[in-house]
């Protein structure tokens, strides 16, 4: 489907600019309600204990197929009984984030780039999330509390890029983000500001005028890495949000996770790439699942992943094929699984 060329959308830009916060408030927070909305038996949504509760905004739920228990979007958010099975090798902190902590809230694993864990909040709870057990409450909350991390960045001229991550940084209000971004822009050796976010996909209303202002007009080159796993996530409302971001000069990339029952097929991955390119988003990474406790039922074997990406490579333009990567604790970069062997 081609991009929907729309006139200015009042929901996105008008007086109702904070409607994304409304969408957060009205999100579905339990499995039975989610199933009822989709015309599925409530019992289908009653999984065992859940320290990581359901969180699914209504707009995202509206892209699911009613009555389909195997819907690829539903599978990303609905807990299953398998989550409570302890699978060997699936851990609380599979990528060893704690070892990469250089200051409060600041992680550095790779050269030239640091990652700021800006918040623990997300606009959706993805059942496969590798940070589902991350100790977010320990991190900085105000600009004053960020000062130690900011000083560490200022003192290290090898750092060229700051990545806002989380959680999801775009759950913070624009005033807070603009303040933090403005402070970073004063550090002369920084060149780029990257945002890792799923919000333009789950709540496209989050792409406010204020966001385009502080990010699009920063001295730092803005890069946004969104996160969609299936073409059905990219409906017309998302298309408009992405079009606004691209129009503000923000480089757009996507990262996906290879997920059993969601996108582990050639047609699903092909359609995702086509749809992303239609929306001017470059498919950047396809991640091998991080082996986090509770997510074993999403794992796709590496050999199958490599074969799928090779098939994509044979049928799509090179720029539409994501790099298949795996995060290995202690390694100085993500390990490429395709095109080069790991
Ligand atoms: C993935 C990641 C990055 C970014 O890596 P790129 O290959 O540049 O996308 C940076 N820091 C940490 C800690 C990461 O996990
Ligand atoms: S949006 Fe990202 S950080 Fe948040 S639950 Fe989903 S995968 Fe995890």
pLDDT score recorded for residue 128: 95
- For the segment 301-329, the average pLDDT, to the nearest whole number, is 96
User: 251 Cβ partners below 8 Å, 6+ apart?
Assistant: 221, 222, 223, 224
| Position in ligand 2 atom list of the atom nearest CA 198 | 1
Angle at 70 between CA 53 and CA 272, to 5 degrees: 95
What's the N-to-C CA distance of the chain in angstroms?
35
pLDDT score recorded for residue 284: 98
| Pocket flag, ligand 2, residue 78 (CB < 6 Å) | no
- For the segment 216-229, the average pLDDT, to the nearest whole number, is 98
Among 16-20, 52-56, 92-96, 215-219, the least confident range: 16-20
Among 9-18, 26-35, 149-158, 293-302, the least confident range: 9-18
Chain position carrying tokens 């890069």: 223
Confidence of residue 341 (pLDDT cuts 50, 70, 90): low
Cis previous bond, 121, omega within 30 = no
- Rounded to the nearest angstrom, the distance between the alpha carbon of 157 and the centre of ligand 1 is 18
| Pocket flag, ligand 2, residue 287 (CB < 6 Å) | no
- Secondary structure E strands in 128-217: 161-165, 192-196
pLDDT score recorded for residue 340: 72
Query: Could you give all domains of the chain from N- to C-terminal order, each with its CATH number?
Result: 1-342 (3.20.20.70)
Confidence of residue 333 (pLDDT cuts 50, 70, 90): confident
Span 168-207, pLDDT tens digits: 999 999 999 999 999 999 999 999 999 999 999 999 999 9
Ligand nearest to the CA of 114: 1
For residue 80, give the nearest of 38, 34, 122, 39 by alpha carbon. 34
Confidence of residue 15 (pLDDT cuts 50, 70, 90): very low
Confidence of residue 2 (pLDDT cuts 50, 70, 90): very low
Check whether 18 has a pLDDT greater than 60. yes
Check whether 342 has a pLDDT greater than 50. no
pLDDT score recorded for residue 5: 32
Q: Looking at ligand 2, which residue's alpha carbon is closest to its atom 8?
A: 129
| Position in ligand 1 atom list of the atom nearest CA 285 | 9
SS3 195: strand
Span 62-79, pLDDT tens digits: 999 999 999 999 999 999
For residue 93, give the nearest of 139, 148, 136, 141 by alpha carbon. 136
Q: Regarding predicted confidence, which is higher, 325 or 134?
A: 325
Check whether 269 has a pLDDT greater than 60. yes
User: How far apart, in whole angstroms, are the C-alpha atoms of residue 322 and residue 338?
Assistant: 9
Among 90-99, 146-155, 194-203, 277-286, the least confident range: 90-99
pLDDT score recorded for residue 306: 97
Check whether 135 has a pLDDT greater than 80. no
Confidence of residue 51 (pLDDT cuts 50, 70, 90): confident
pLDDT score recorded for residue 93: 80
- Rounded to the nearest angstrom, the distance between the alpha carbon of 89 and the centre of ligand 1 is 22
């Amino acid at each position: 489907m081609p991009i929907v060329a729309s006139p200015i959308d009042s929901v996105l830009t008008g007086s109702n600019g904070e409607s994304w916060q409304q969408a957060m408030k009205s999100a579905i927070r339990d499995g039975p309600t989610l199933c009822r909305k989709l015309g599925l038996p409530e019992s289908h949504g009653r999984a065992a204990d859940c320290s990581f509760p359901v969180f699914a905004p209504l707009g995202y739920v509206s892209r699911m197929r009613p009555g389909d228990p195997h819907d690829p979007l539903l599978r990303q958010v609905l807990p299953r009984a398998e989550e409570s099975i302890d699978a060997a090798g699936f851990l609380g902190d599979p990528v060893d984030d704690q070892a990469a902590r250089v200051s409060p809230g600041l992680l550095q694993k790779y050269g030239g780039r640091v990652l700021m864990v800006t918040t623990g909040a997300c606009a959706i709870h993805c059942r496969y999330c590798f940070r589902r057990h991350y100790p977010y409450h320990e991190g900085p909350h105000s600009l004053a509390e960020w000062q130690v991390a900011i000083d560490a960045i200022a003192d290290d001229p090898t750092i060229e890029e700051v990545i806002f991550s989380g959680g999801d940084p775009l759950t913070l209000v624009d005033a807070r983000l603009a303040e933090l971004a403005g402070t970073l822009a004063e550090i002369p050796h920084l060149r780029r500001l990257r945002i890792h976010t799923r919000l333009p996909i789950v709540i496209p209303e989050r792409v406010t005028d204020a966001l385009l202002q502080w990010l699009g007009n920063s001295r730092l080159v803005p890069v946004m890495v969104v996160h969609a796993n299936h073409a059905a996530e990219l409906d017309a409302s998302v298309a408009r949000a992405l079009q606004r971001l691209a129009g503000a000069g923000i480089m757009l990339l996507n990262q996906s996770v290879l997920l059993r029952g969601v996108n582990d097929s050639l047609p699903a991955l092909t359609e995702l790439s086509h749809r992303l390119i239609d929306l001017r988003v470059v498919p950047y990474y396809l991640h091998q699942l991080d082996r986090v406790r509770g997510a074993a039922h999403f794992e796709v074997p590496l050999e199958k992943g490599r074969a799928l990406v090779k098939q994509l490579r044979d049928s799509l333009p090179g720029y539409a094929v994501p790099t298949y990567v795996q995060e290995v604790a202690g390694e100085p970069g993500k390990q490429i699984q395709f095109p080069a062997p790991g």
